[in-house]
Amino acid sequence: MASLRDIKSRITSTKKTKQITKAMEMVSAAKLNRAQSKATSFIPYTEKIREVVASIASGEENTITHPMLEAREEVKKTAYIVITSDRGLCGAYNSGLLRQTHKIINERHESPNEYGLIVIGKVGRDFFKKRGMPIYQEIVGLQDQPEYAEIKNIAATTIDMFTDGIFDEIYLHYNHFVSVISQKVTESKLLPLTDLAGEEEDAATQEYIYEPDPKVILEQLLPHYAESLIYGSLLDAKASEFGARMTAMQSATNNATDRIDELTLVYNRARQAAITQEINEIVGGASALE
């Protein structure tokens, strides 16, 4: 049985751990509120660009075409943009996403020559590097509230690789924020933007005056729209990360509280037993002197 000093030391160390996890929980809660606000405020911007792009694509008897809007006859190579965190201590946030992505890649592709990875986040980068999977681009060390400029280069380069024919389709893999305690592993198709075709009828009802020319605007707007989809997914993933970390730290704090209660009970029982033993020894000694 552990000594009273050992039990007391364990109680003290657990209390210190609880203070840390509680502080991390509160910090994550504050970051979550900011991340949610940023992600929500970015949605109308993306939706408006989507509306304009769909309107142009459906105009002039659909004579305007663009490589980013057309599915290729043969898909030789697929890119996966995977958004993870740079740090752990966020429950199953990273493991669930990476496990699902790894499973999908193994099911769809027979060779590493058939796909490439664009990884955002240190955890994801290390995961794929360890397994020898082809990483074409990576970015780590983003701010907790990332700015558009931080991912613009990697987003623009990825889109250029699509238009140059290096990749024939691009998918986004990230955790979609559902609630503080729930994040959904999500796959969405980034390129080609074939889903815009289903919105042409609604978009055609919107009237826009284009200057200088719809085709020129479309060529400029489509890459920017694809970049905004990547950035919007990153903001969504950040909100999910802070929600997962807040929940994980709350659970750790509760576990620490339970552990402290258990150790305190053990300590009190051991102390009571020690006192009882001392009393018995005193009584026994007194009886021997009679």
* Cβ proximity of 7 and 260 under 8 Å: no
| Strand-strand pairing, 169-179 and 115-120 | unpaired
Cα–Cα separations (whole angstroms), residue 197 to 159, 180, 202? 20, 34, 10
Transcribe 143-155 into DSSP letters.
-SS--HHHHHHHH
pLDDT score of 134:
95
pLDDT score of 67:
79
pLDDT score of 94:
94
Q: Which of 68, 83, 90, 117 is catalytic?
A: 90
Q: Give me the domains of the chain, ranges plus CATH numbers.
A: 4-25+248-289 (1.10.287.80), 29-247 (3.40.1380.10)
Query: Is 285 buried (19+), middle (13-18) or exposed (0-12) by CB count in 10 A?
Result: exposed
Q: What is the pTM of this model?
A: 0.86
Q: How confident is the chain (290 residues) per 10-residue block, as mean pLDDT?
A: 82 93 93 92 88 72 70 90 93 93 94 94 95 94 91 91 92 93 92 69 57 76 90 95 94 94 89 78 66
90 in active site: yes
